[in-house]
């Protein structure tokens, strides 16, 4: 909700609408009533906004599991609210016939290697299927992997089979259920995830120090919801 002209999340929702997504569920904690009030007050014509309750902040996999009833058994996209992806990458992922993720060329992200190393490396087999997510590999591992490395920026297409992995993935050292690790659990159980090659940049608003750059990039950007 950090204002960069408009709240950053408005720009994310605008990109989803441009990519043909017409219904969104925002996963929020009980303390985020101000966010609900803001979106209830918007006159949205291109996208319907629902609210999903995550009772406790127990990680990204827990957030996805909280949305199980909302998805009504249908395939869905899951993505970060603090990343702005290109319309093309969203549309390509949405058009898949099964589960998948976008694999971003590291050099296209326009982020320093130290920042990219805090995301994840996608290991892919010869048929383009995911074999493992190496979460938060760090700058040295990223450099050793080479320039053709595909990076996970945490945008996924899932079906209903992901929910069991989200509920059963072991807690991380932070005491959370992490989505990349839940994906690894699902892959180990036989799930297939197509990795769609994608290019950035991806605007990342993970840190307060990102605000000036993001504000410059989005200055004057059209937002239509």
> Do 225 and 46 form a contact (C-beta atoms < 8 A)?
yes
pLDDT tens by residue, 172-220: 998 999 999 999 999 999 999 999 999 989 999 989 999 999 999 999 9
Partner residues linked to 207 by β-bridges: none
pLDDT tens by residue, 62-80: 999 999 999 999 999 999 9
Partner residues linked to 100 by β-bridges: 157, 194
pLDDT tens by residue, 140-175: 777 777 767 899 999 999 999 999 999 999 999 989
pLDDT tens by residue, 90-126: 999 999 999 999 999 988 888 888 888 888 899 999 9
DSSP assignment of 138-207, as one string?
-HHHHHHH-TT-EEEEEEEEE-TTHHHHHHHSPP-TTSS--HHHHHHHHHHTT---EEEEE----EE-SS
- If you classify domain 3-218 with CATH, what class do you get? alpha beta
pLDDT tens by residue, 11-27: 999 999 999 999 999 99
* Closest C-alpha to 174, from 117, 120, 133, 136: 136
Model confidence at 135, in pLDDT bands (50, 70, 90)? confident
Burial status of residue 72 (CB atoms within 10 A of its CB: 0-12, 13-18, 19 or more): exposed
**pTM, whole model, 2 decimals?**
0.94
Q: Could you state, in order of their start, the residue ranges of all structural domains in the chain? A: 3-218
């Amino acid at each position: 909700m950090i204002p960069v002209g408009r709240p950053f999340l408005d720009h994310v929702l605008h990109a989803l609408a441009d990519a043909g997504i017409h219904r969104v569920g925002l996963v929020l904690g009980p303390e985020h009533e101000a966010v609900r009030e803001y979106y209830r007050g918007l006159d949205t014509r291109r996208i319907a906004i629902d609210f999903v309750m995550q009772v406790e902040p127990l990680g990204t996999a827990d957030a996805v599991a909280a949305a199980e009833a909302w998805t009504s058994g249908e395939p869905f996209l899951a993505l970060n609210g603090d990343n702005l992806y290109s319309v093309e990458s969203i549309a390509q992922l949405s058009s898949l016939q099964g589960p998948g993720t976008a694999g971003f060329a590291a050099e296209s992200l326009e982020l320093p290697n130290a920042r990219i190393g805090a995301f994840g490396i996608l290991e892919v087999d010869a048929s383009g299927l995911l074999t493992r997510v190496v979460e938060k590999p760090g700058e040295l591992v990223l450099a050793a992997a080479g320039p053709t490395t595909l990076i996970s920026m945490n945008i996924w297409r899932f079906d209903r089979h992901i929910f069991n992995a989200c509920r059963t993935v072991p807690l991380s050292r932070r005491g959370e259920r992490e989505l990349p690790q839940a994906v690894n659990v699902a892959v180990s159980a036989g799930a297939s995830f197509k990795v769609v090659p994608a290019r950035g940049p991806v605007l990342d608003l993970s840190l307060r120090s990102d605000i000036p750059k993001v504000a410059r990039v989005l200055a004057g950007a059209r937002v239509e919801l």
